[in-house]
Chains A and B, each alone.
Chain A
Amino acid sequence: MKHPIRFLRSLAVATALACTGTSLMAPPQAVAAEETPVHGGTLTAIIQPEPPMLILGLNQQAPTQTVAGKIYESLLTYNFDLSPRPSLAKSWEVSDDGLTYTFHLQEGVTWHDGEPFTSKDVLFSFTKFLPDTHPRARALMSRAESITAPDDRTVVITLKEPFPAFLQGFEMSTTPIMPAHIYEGTDYQNNPNNNTPIGTGPFMFDEWVKGSYIHLVKNPNYWQEGKPYLDDIYFKVIPDAASRALALENGEVMQSQYNDIEPFDVQRLAALPHLQVIRKGYEFVAPLMWLEINHRVEPLGDKRFRQAILYALDREFIRDRIWFGLGRVATGPINSVTKYYDPNVPRYDYDPDKAIALLDEMGLEPDGDGVRATVKFLPLAYGETWQRLAEYVKQALGKVGVKVVLESTDAAGWGKRVANWDYEITTDFLYQYADPSIGVSRTYLSSNIRQGVLFTNTMGYKNPEVDRLFEEAAKEVDPEKRQDDYSQLQRLIVEDVPVAWLLEMEFPNILNTRVHDAITTAIGVNETYADTWISPE
């Protein structure tokens, strides 16, 4: 560990010299645009929790993605607006009938061990490795009628029926390309090379000291000429939240992501002159948070009751006071950064009187204590912030006569109870994966009411029209017609309030101001970092 010490000393100087304060809202890339990238330097980043392994094809937990995203690559990556852009595929075509996808691969790509990368690796990944190990990739590739490689640089996929969201499935967490020469014909889970990941990415695995750090070094033979700029990257494991904030504060690390920093600490850190907060880079996952409501329990099955819940909640208060400003008030089932979002839906602005009127209409009269109905609330056991949310919901619903009794459980107990429909109201958040037919429909389709499976239609919501539109939209090739379907869907679902949408969640990336071009795509910190550079002190 010679590097970090030297680096720390120089960083201390840099911190002292830094005078450009960046506020929470400042455009992150403005500074970088005027400067030209320089080579060299070491990036230090927090990684939390420590990933179980680095073989991206075998494990896709968030920390694995962040580290292994530098080692492995995929065919495509996505701009902030979710339009695809080249990675291992330099170009691609989709036939007019929406059935045939042709990818042309980059020239001169080699694996970290020197073997050439060809269409054989892509074929192996899509037809053998990933369907065996990765549920999301398996679901995607099961839509293919055939996957072929006419030559070393071309891959052709033919679908059984049109599925326009298919093109959103080629980033590194869904379909990372794995090396065929290492895994073909072996037991993937127990391959002896699983401790030393071999990818095509700009950084190569160097060393992993368990419980301490993971060290990646520059790939000198990277296929993009002159890249990467960084010499190496250290991912440091820091299990304690307060220590993570301190490490950013004193310059020991230069990057944090996801929930590394608790919401209440973000504003404090953002005010420091050597740190900047970038909220972009989560467009692909686009998490949406809601109150999940079990329709099987009376009176929660009545849509007027669910609408009343939404009217009774001040969601701006939730964003500003509980999430400390991180997030956007949700308007409906589709996150505003996901494709086919339509803002033109019925609104449920904070209005307790409307909530009371709806409850009156249902005939729920207040008793002697002003209680119209009693519901049990099982908060998500993910810590402090979620508990505050539960306390707020209890008070806010209490104001309109809905008494909330808080239950408590641990994370495992929560998953078990929600999956088995043993709850009345709970909190939940789901990733949307760029397209409504991948990450949104699963929550509302009545065909996805599956007891025992988490993140399905656990509410028991049924609307035949919604089912029909989701199925139609998933196959619709014409983008305009597709938008029509989804717009119609959003209005229908928002009217029904199957769940009470709270916030489109934002995760803060907190970066040292010396780090440039880190968050450049919709997958943010999971990007390869081939373009990332550090300005000299």
Chain B
Amino acid sequence: MTRDFLLAFARNKGAVIGLAIVAVIILMAVFADVLYPQDPWDMVGLPFAPPMTDGMLMGSDMLGRDIAAGIVHGARVSLLIGLTSTLAAVFIGVLIGAIAGYYGGWLGDLLMRFTELFQTIPNFVLVVVIVAIFTPSLTSIVTAIALVSWAPLARLVRGEVLSLRSREFVQAAVTCGQSNGTIIVKQILPNCLSPIIVSASLMVATAILLESSLSFLGLGDPNAMSWGFMVGSARTVLRQAWWMSFFPGVAILVTVLGLNLIGEGLNDAFNPRLRRKRTA
């Protein structure tokens, strides 16, 4: 099963490329302190230095900070925020979705109306409001992103659970006298893992984009170097110095693209029949 899955995934060229990109970004984040031991906020060179001057691969920004150092250290912030907020969102989404789907009735209705409440408010507006209220910091940003991302997942999980709970193996577990909690965790959830994984991988990409947009608007953590901040602070001097916003922009683009490719690949590998239909 695992081997089949890996083969299916590897057959998708885009997915492999995506995986390679994300691997590089992860390596960058892990070895940031080795590649650029100095603080990325340090003004190490002449301000406004174009790429390839003073030993600075991507040039410097308006205060003389090395852009390459910012990109490498920024990878940490982007990945950290992307992963933690997705984990939190998956936890909330699965919990609410599973309970609503399994128990149904008035409890399910209540939980779904609550979910819809979050779905009807535009994501980005809500994130901005939450971060503005709780003052920008890594914690408040992660919380805000998690709070706006769980709703679609909850609906997805509810649908899966609804269809699984009437299947024979679940009925069998019920007759065996397993408790509701055990049935949800041991019988149902493992069987709806694939859609959860696929949407989680896409949620990481969305979270990174959300964080970048926040930083672009100046609502990022002022003590953390992030790609969105780099683009946002450099946009005003775009006409004088293109490289300041170009490289971090490319970093965001490539990372989000990589994560999306992986998501697509996972989806295809989990649903081989779907994929064949599409390629046919």
Residues of A bordering B, CB below 8 Å:
262, 264, 268, 321-322, 379, 384, 387-388, 390-392, 394-395, 398, 405-410
Ranked nearest first, the 7 interchain pairs of A and B with the lowest CB-CB distance are: A406-B222, A321-B47, A408-B222, A264-B237, A408-B136, A395-B41, A406-B223
User: For chain B residues 30-69, which have a beta carbon within 8 Å of chain A?
Assistant: 39, 41-43, 47, 62-64
- Select which of B39, B47, B233, B237 is within 8 A of A387 by beta carbon: B233
B240 A395 Cβ-Cβ under 8 A: no
A407 B62 Cβ-Cβ under 8 A: no
Q: How many whole Å from A4's CB to the nearest CB in chain B? A: 26
- Select which of B223, B233, B237, B239 is within 8 A of A405 by beta carbon: B223
B43 A387 Cβ-Cβ under 8 A: no
A395 B222 Cβ-Cβ under 8 A: no
User: Which A residue's beta carbon lies closest to that of B218?
Assistant: A387
- 30 inter-chain pairs at a CB distance below 8 angstroms, sorted by A residue, are A262-B236, A264-B62, A264-B236, A264-B237, A264-B240, A268-B239, A321-B47, A321-B63, A321-B64, A322-B62, A379-B222, A384-B233, A387-B233, A388-B62, A388-B63, A391-B63, A391-B222, A392-B43, A394-B41, A394-B223, A395-B41, A395-B42, A405-B223, A407-B135, A407-B222, A408-B135, A408-B218, A408-B219, A409-B135, A410-B132
Q: How many whole Å from B88's CB to the nearest CB in chain A? A: 23
Residues of B bordering A, CB below 8 Å:
39, 41-43, 47, 62-64, 132, 135-136, 218-219, 222-223, 233, 236-237, 239-240
User: Which B residue's beta carbon lies closest to that of A394?
Assistant: B41
> In whole angstroms, what is the CA distance A268 to B136 when docked?
33
User: Which B residue's beta carbon lies closest to that of A405?
Assistant: B223
> In whole angstroms, what is the CA distance A410 to B129 when docked?
13
Q: Which chain A positions have C-beta within 8 A of B43?
A: 392, 395
User: Which A residue's beta carbon lies closest to that of B239?
Assistant: A268
A388 with B42: in contact, given A321-B62, A321-B63, A406-B223 (CB under 8 Å)? no
A395-B43, A407-B135, A407-B222 provided; 12 other pairs, C-beta below 8 A?
A264-B240, A268-B239, A322-B62, A322-B63, A391-B63, A398-B39, A405-B223, A408-B135, A408-B136, A408-B218, A408-B222, A410-B132
Q: How many whole Å from A433's CB to the nearest CB in chain B? A: 31
A388 B233 Cβ-Cβ under 8 A: yes
> In whole angstroms, what is the CA distance A487 to B123 when docked?
59
Greatest chain A CB density within 10 A among B41, B62, B218 is at B62
Q: Which chain B positions have C-beta within 8 A of A387?
A: 218, 222, 233
B222 A390 Cβ-Cβ under 8 A: yes
User: Which B residue's beta carbon lies closest to that of A320?
Assistant: B47
User: Which A residue's beta carbon lies closest to that of B235?
Assistant: A384
A391 B239 Cβ-Cβ under 8 A: no
B236 A392 Cβ-Cβ under 8 A: no
User: Which B residue's beta carbon lies closest to that of A322?
Assistant: B63
> In whole angstroms, what is the CA distance A45 to B239 when docked?
24
Q: How many whole Å from B36's CB to the nearest CB in chain A? A: 15
Q: Which chain A positions have C-beta within 8 A of B39?
A: 395, 398
> In whole angstroms, what is the CA distance A391 to B62 when docked?
11
Q: How many whole Å from A387's CB to the nearest CB in chain B? A: 7
- Select which of A321, A384, A394, A405 is within 8 A of B236 by beta carbon: A384
> In whole angstroms, what is the CA distance A262 to B42 when docked?
24
Q: How many whole Å from A321's CB to the nearest CB in chain B? A: 5
> In whole angstroms, what is the CA distance A390 to B222 when docked?
9
Greatest chain A CB density within 10 A among B47, B135, B236, B239 is at B236
> In whole angstroms, what is the CA distance A409 to B218 when docked?
10
Greatest chain A CB density within 10 A among B42, B43, B47 is at B43
Q: Which chain A positions have C-beta within 8 A of B222?
A: 379, 387, 390-391, 406-408
Q: How many whole Å from A427's CB to the nearest CB in chain B? A: 13
Q: Which chain A positions have C-beta within 8 A of B236?
A: 262, 264, 384
> In whole angstroms, what is the CA distance A70 to B39 when docked?
52
A391 with B41: in contact, given A321-B47, A321-B63, A407-B222 (CB under 8 Å)? yes
B41 A268 Cβ-Cβ under 8 A: no
Q: Which chain B positions have C-beta within 8 A of A406?
A: 222-223
> In whole angstroms, what is the CA distance A23 to B223 when docked?
38
Q: How many whole Å from A385's CB to the nearest CB in chain B? A: 9
Q: Which chain A positions have C-beta within 8 A of B237?
A: 264
B240 A268 Cβ-Cβ under 8 A: yes
> In whole angstroms, what is the CA distance A264 to B233 when docked?
12
Q: Which chain B positions have C-beta within 8 A of A409?
A: 135
> In whole angstroms, what is the CA distance A206 to B218 when docked?
41
> In whole angstroms, what is the CA distance A45 to B198 when docked?
56
User: Which B residue's beta carbon lies closest to that of A384?
Assistant: B236
Q: Which chain A positions have C-beta within 8 A of B135?
A: 407-409
Q: Which chain B positions have C-beta within 8 A of A322?
A: 62-63
User: Which A residue's beta carbon lies closest to that of B43?
Assistant: A395
> In whole angstroms, what is the CA distance A323 to B39 when docked?
24
Q: Which chain B positions have C-beta within 8 A of A379?
A: 222
User: Which A residue's beta carbon lies closest to that of B219?
Assistant: A408
> In whole angstroms, what is the CA distance A388 to B47 when docked?
12
Q: Which chain B positions have C-beta within 8 A of A395?
A: 39, 41-43
> In whole angstroms, what is the CA distance A405 to B218 when docked?
16
Q: Which chain A positions have C-beta within 8 A of B62?
A: 264, 321-322, 388
Greatest chain B CB density within 10 A among A322, A390, A391, A405 is at A391
Q: How many whole Å from B70's CB to the nearest CB in chain A? A: 12
Q: Which chain A positions have C-beta within 8 A of B47?
A: 321
Q: How many whole Å from A406's CB to the nearest CB in chain B? A: 4
Q: How many whole Å from B229's CB to the nearest CB in chain A? A: 10
Q: How many whole Å from B10's CB to the nearest CB in chain A? A: 45
Q: Which chain A positions have C-beta within 8 A of B240?
A: 264, 268
> In whole angstroms, what is the CA distance A384 to B237 when docked?
11
> In whole angstroms, what is the CA distance A398 to B63 when docked?
16
> In whole angstroms, what is the CA distance A321 to B45 when docked?
12
> In whole angstroms, what is the CA distance A268 to B219 when docked?
29
Q: How many whole Å from A332's CB to the nearest CB in chain B? A: 26
> In whole angstroms, what is the CA distance A268 to B233 when docked?
18
Q: How many whole Å from B166's CB to the nearest CB in chain A? A: 52
> In whole angstroms, what is the CA distance A175 to B68 when docked?
55
Q: How many whole Å from A39's CB to the nearest CB in chain B? A: 39
User: Which A residue's beta carbon lies closest to that of B46?
Assistant: A321
Q: Which chain B positions have C-beta within 8 A of A392?
A: 43, 63
> In whole angstroms, what is the CA distance A264 to B236 when docked?
8
Greatest chain A CB density within 10 A among B64, B222, B237 is at B222
> In whole angstroms, what is the CA distance A133 to B135 when docked?
37
> In whole angstroms, what is the CA distance A322 to B62 when docked?
8
Q: How many whole Å from B37's CB to the nearest CB in chain A? A: 14
Q: How many whole Å from B178's CB to the nearest CB in chain A? A: 51
Q: Which chain B positions have C-beta within 8 A of A321?
A: 47, 62-64
Q: Which chain B positions have C-beta within 8 A of A394?
A: 41, 223
